[in-house]
Structure 1
Amino acid sequence: MKNIVEKSKAKRALKKLSLLFFTLFLFGCAKEPNDVGFGLLPDNELFNVKVYEDSVEVYAENIQNFVSNSSSNVLLIGNYDNISCSILIRFDVPDTLKDVKMEWAQIRLFRSKFFIGDSTLPVHFTAHKVLSNYYDTLYDAQIIGEFNSVPDSVNYFKIDTGVVREWLNGRNYGLYLKPQNSGVIWGFNSLDEILFTPALEIVIRRENDLDTIRFFFMEVMDILRD
């Protein structure tokens, strides 16, 4: 009897999730591609070469099967049953700050009310530097940030300041947030009130003082794999 009830709950949850994905797909496809970042960035750099002391490493992976979600108020990330959700996000950062002394940087995400699966489970995802535009997106397999916790109302995770420095110098393809957990998909606010949208926070040093500068997202989309 217990198994029947659990299967029934799982079916209802999957129907709910499928309807949400279909709605997100319709919202995302309602705009022209340029509204979610297509065609905005040069596509002449598909791989990134990183030098680690005496060695050179080229290691990139490809993102496939993504669903545009540029108009939705909810970003989904996690794995549940046979559904996997991840996030592409890019922040609007000016090159006027390229010479500042950066102490650290972090991403801020506000949890939405949406989840599917076991809400006692944490969301665990890693952050990766995106290496190309959204047409044929590659991301660096090196982890530059990580979050692993049951989401609170507001959540932060630090990222590599070297990557942010590249963004300030004009090489800004954004971040790929890759889910590492299973059993739950969590939702975070996307196109909500500006104070509750995803943000990049940079702490810089000006003489003897520390200042925090906040940048809001420029493009964002969900990626759905099944």
Structure 2
Amino acid sequence: MTARMSGWLIAVASLFGAISALVIIGWRPEVTEARYSYPFGPTSFVVAQLLFAARDAVVLVGLIGLTLALWPQARRTTRIGLLVADAGMLLFALAELFALTARSAATISTEADAANAFYGAPMTVHGIGLLIAGVGLARSRQLPGALGRWIVLAAGVYVFFPVFPAVFAPMVWGRLAIGSWLVLCAGIGVALVRWAARNESPSAAVRAAECSAIR
């Protein structure tokens, strides 16, 4: 898979997630707020969670493509951060699936507590990974332009504020925070597409060949 395709996967899947956040806010409640699946009923909740897990899996594939694309020239800290971010996204997909165990549970219940606790690990791991990689990319300027330099770091900071506090707030605020964070994540995909346009173009390949010949 090319870096360009990986960038598009991240961008499109992240925007899908952002739109999903708005859909959830506007969804006509099928159950009361006393149910963990709110505003969905059990069946709708299952469908939504499977879609979210699929979205996370697509983003993970894109992030792996980002990691592979930047790896050869990346600093050690950037590499570590990218790997940690990848691991966090994998945990996100698993958390979406684990939440299915609480599809018929009350908001205050053992099942709901377990599902909520599971989400804490992906947020922490993925956020830390983005922060570490973001600092490295800001220093190296590996991704082109101001967007490429700062977008990964911005997404990492956003995980811890405001997303982390917002998930404990009323549902609307939590979804707005997550949705806006996913727009930032889409920016990571756009930055990778721009990187690919610069590094995978025929002219770039010719320049690389010329440099190899000179050496």
TM (norm. structure 2) is 0.29
TM (norm. structure 1) is 0.28
Q: Please state which structure has a larger fraction of its residues in strand.
A: 1
Q: Please state which structure has a larger fraction of its residues in helix.
A: 2
